[in-house]
A and B are shown apart, each in its own frame.
Chain A
């Protein structure tokens, strides 16, 4: 799986948009970008994933650059409950020989403050 690089920490004011960047310059054509988050002492929570088109769901938006070498997760109106570690992961979609296993990096600690 391709390696990802994320900033170790970010701050965001409550109510503002949180934009979390991720670099994945070695991503290959069949690899998707996944985002998960982990709130303290809980299991990770799936947020969103995409291949090359921008994606949006009820939690967030995912913007992938045209060359697919980087992406940005956007939380449009951050709340205090969005404080968590956010992981950007690149891998084959769901199946493949790895059965869709996820390799977690260090992630970005997002702190939302009042």
Chain B
């Protein structure tokens, strides 16, 4: 079964860090465009970052220099390292295989003092 399972969300203070993981099954992460998308409470979808199959990475402006997308081919897992977190980063974070899906179930990140 083709599936993505996220983990690593939680409550963190402003300025703190979190590392999100997205474990894939049924397909090879490194053969695909893999993306992180977030959704603030009650809001729409916002694209955060992508890693292409060739390894190039891109970010939305608001997270550049703070977030890093990466993958571990041996574990078939996608990551999002989030540093210098801000209150406005509070959202459900989804990982997704871009062209065909699926999306993971999402993991909630709450940034609050």
A and B: partners?
Answer: no
**Which chain B residues have a beta carbon within 8 Å of chain A's beta carbons?**
none
**Which chain A residues have a beta carbon within 8 Å of chain B's beta carbons?**
none
